Amino acid sequence: MALTPRLDLRQSQHLSLTPQLMQSIKMLQLSHLEIATLVANELEQNPLLDRGEASEIEQVEAKDPSDINGEISDNLIDVITIDSAAKIADNLDTDIDNIFPEQVGQDSVAQSTGSINANNLNGEAPNIEAYVEAKITLADHLWDQAALMFENAADRIIARFLIDSLDDAGYLSADIAAISNQLGADESHVFSVLLQLQACEPLGVFCRNVKECLAIQLAAIDRLDPMMAGLLDNLDLVMKHDLITLGKTINASSEDIADMLKELRSLNPKPGQVFDVLPMQSIVADVFIKKANDGSWNVELNSDVLPKVLVNRTYFAKLKGQVRNEKDKTYLVDCLQSANWLTKSLDQRARTILKVASEIAILQSGFLEHGVSQLVPMTLKMVADAIEMHESTVSRVTSNKYITTPRGLFEMKYFFTTGLSSSSGGDNHSSESVRHFIRQMIENEDIKKILSDEAISKMIKQQHGIDVARRTVMKYRESLNFASSVIRRRQKKSMST
């Protein structure tokens, strides 16, 4: 067969993901905070995008400055033009105590407040955060001490490197040999600086393990005797609550061990966490599920976390008539397409979240009514088939999203659980409800009758009709951070004595 060139025409189909489509898919799994950041960046870059709602400050600033004086509220005028208490008392020919007894010594504050308000009529309010005390970090606190401890430049460089190598708990995880090799210093020199830094406050920082951290704190209060040192050498037995073996190993009585454990509990195994504590941020729900008057469930999106973005077509039409060169026209058309895509993607994201949440409310109505014991098994496929979407889309939508229900605030992924078969042949039970039963049994168990995994398995079958193997109980128990029955018996016995 001869090989000859020829021209063929073929028709085929393939899926092509454009950058905008890929970005739209990515937006589904972003949290509302990440979406707000993305929208803020687009607002800065795209002149055709506007926020859906303008704040009062923006409305005032948009007006002619010459018209502002006529629209300032009466309260603000009163704050600026009000006379001081001393002047009012002087005009009435009386003492200030007879008119404003609580005002004495406060005129300077009122005057300074008035001057602040008067100087900020241009819309620039004083920044309250500028007067908040900055939080001291662990690194700053340690460097303030190290700067007084070391005068040699080489010692300071090593100290700075060791400080920067600490983790959030205050531990030094890096190897001394690796640090000395990186800095080009002798290991003995680095170790000498480390020993001096271990005297810094808070006590216990710059340690390599828990034993060293506790030993430094005990030595500072003169309690690191041979018996206590032996206990620190056998912390694994303390973790297992095997106090009998511990007593035989270090030749200590039960009273001595109880006293030493009491002292250990008073120490801080993670001294670095005193600093760098981030402020607690409350989780804001994306969806609200509330019960309606007719007994059904209302599903609503949280409008406070939905970004409000509009396409300014009036501005586009105005610019379009003024643009002359081809480069500017292309830029303007690209901005319009990008703005339309963003608003469409945000709308589609909101609709998809609402669809998924509505289906969750339907499938988990028993949980919403009665609690976690009625949580039913639910998979991504079940929701995807119901709303006619792909499982990957449902998975992205449920990431980093939260729902407020009558039972509390939950992540969307919380409702997706596997099922365990029923011993009576009925409906399957959710694995999360089984975890709930295990938690209740362990928390309420009698100190004289600690439940084994096998006993918990039998009780769940008898009380709830759920077939659950002993290995499954062990897996769920460990996921709930409960120790084995042997260790729990030792823990409760030591706590009762």
Show the tokens assigned to 170.
Answer: 């205050």
Closest CA to 217 of 203, 233, 205, 201: 203
One-letter amino acid at 487 equals I
Which sign does the torsion angle of CA 301, 303, 305, 308 carry?
A: positive
Does 479 score more than 80 pLDDT? yes
Confidence (pLDDT) at 105 = 45
Per-residue model confidence as pLDDT tens digits over 325-354? 888 888 888 888 888 888 888 999 999 999
Share of the chain above pLDDT 90, in %: 7
Per-residue model confidence as pLDDT tens digits over 55-92? 332 333 333 333 433 433 343 333 334 455 566 666 66
Per-residue model confidence as pLDDT tens digits over 156-210? 889 999 998 888 888 888 888 888 888 888 888 989 999 999 888 888 899 988 8
Per-residue model confidence as pLDDT tens digits over 410-455? 999 988 887 776 655 555 667 788 888 888 888 888 878 888 888 8
Q: What is the rounded average pLDDT for all residues in the chain?
A: 78
Show the tokens assigned to 97.
Answer: 């105590």
Show the tokens assigned to 322.
Answer: 């003024």
Does 275 score more than 50 pLDDT? yes
At what angle are helices 210-220 and 226-233 packed, to 10 degrees? 160
- The answer to whether 347 and 402 have CB atoms below 8 angstroms apart is no
CATH fold, domain 419-496, is Arc Repressor Mutant, subunit A (1.10.10)
Q: In this structure, which CATH number among 3.30.450.40, 3.40.470.10, 1.10.3720.10, 1.10.10.1330 belongs to the domain 136-207?
A: 1.10.10.1330
Question: Running DSSP on this structure, what letter comes out for residue 378?
Answer: B
Domain boundaries, the chain: 136-207, 209-275, 287-415, 419-496
Q: Do domains 136-207 and 419-496 have the same CATH topology?
A: yes
User: Which has the higher per-residue pLDDT, 169 or 53?
Assistant: 169
Give the Å distances, CA to CA, from 471 to 103, 414, 452.
74, 23, 11
Residue ranges with strand state E in 200-302: 287-291, 297-301
- The answer to whether 85 and 103 have CB atoms below 8 angstroms apart is yes
Strands 309-311 and 49-51, sheet pairing: antiparallel
Of 108-117, 132-141, 474-483, 487-496, the least confident? 108-117
